Amino acid sequence: MGLEGSVAIVTGAAIGIGYAAAERLAERGARVVIADRNGAEEAAARLAARDLQVTGVTVDVSSPEEVAAAVGVTESIRGRIDVLVNNAGIYSTLEPKPFEQLTPQEWRQVFDVNVIGVFLMCQAVLPAFKRAGGGRIVNISSGVAFKGNPWMAHYVASKGAVISLTRALATELGRHQILVNSVAPGFTLSDGVHRNPTLVEGVRESSTRNRVLARDMAPADLVGAIEFFAGAQSAFITGQTLVVDGGAYFH
């Protein structure tokens, strides 16, 4: 399965990593649906202005009804679905704090989007994948799941859950020719992160210092891995997590 003519949904793609992924897949010939709570149609219009086949759909991935509607619209417009990139997540707006200060409400908010959102999107596209005879799921996890970073236990746990879900789905869905893999980025200077100067100040210097490739990481550094798992070259790879962090963690 190449990307030319394929149909891909990228969640959380109005800005940042998701937008960069949507742009790369569209440049490779995929017909891309940007799915986001805010700004989906505007982001799609920017790429469509470059003659790329991109449309936008507004969706809250934590809502079963909105997810079902977004997937239904995608299939009705594009006729099929071949690739799902689960990028939507809560991170840049979080306030780092000690574990004992976290509340159940904060845990539920993070898990509703970062984990339940992935579950709902995967479940919703499954019938379309089966009708198409296969598909690709690329989950965006995080290197923190391996390093166990402090002060964000709920976020770290949510990304660990995404990696475990990736493995479980790969095992269960392989008989349908559905490949499920994960990309685990390091600290990335995305649009959302730039909007939180406190986060940038607290994490940027230590992240860069601990990398073999001692520089800032940008969304463009991730799109090659996402494209790889979405395309033909990874046709015999499933259940894997590829850490992309400039050599901060060897996995």
Catalytically annotated residue among 19, 91, 155, 249: 155
CB–CB of 37/89 below 8 Å?
Answer: no
Alpha-carbon distances, residue 202 vs 9, 68, 156, 206 (angstroms): 33, 38, 17, 8
Residue among 168, 210, 169 at smallest CA distance from 187: 210
CB–CB of 85/141 below 8 Å?
Answer: no
Number of Cβ within 10 Å of residue 200's Cβ equals: 17
- Per-position DSSP letters for 117-144, written without gaps between them: HHHHHHHHHHHHHHHHT-EEEEEE--TH
CB–CB of 62/113 below 8 Å?
Answer: yes
Q: Is 155 a catalytic residue?
A: yes
Distance from chain centroid for Cα 100: 29
Number of Cβ within 10 Å of residue 114's Cβ equals: 26
Q: Name the residues annotated as catalytic.
A: 155
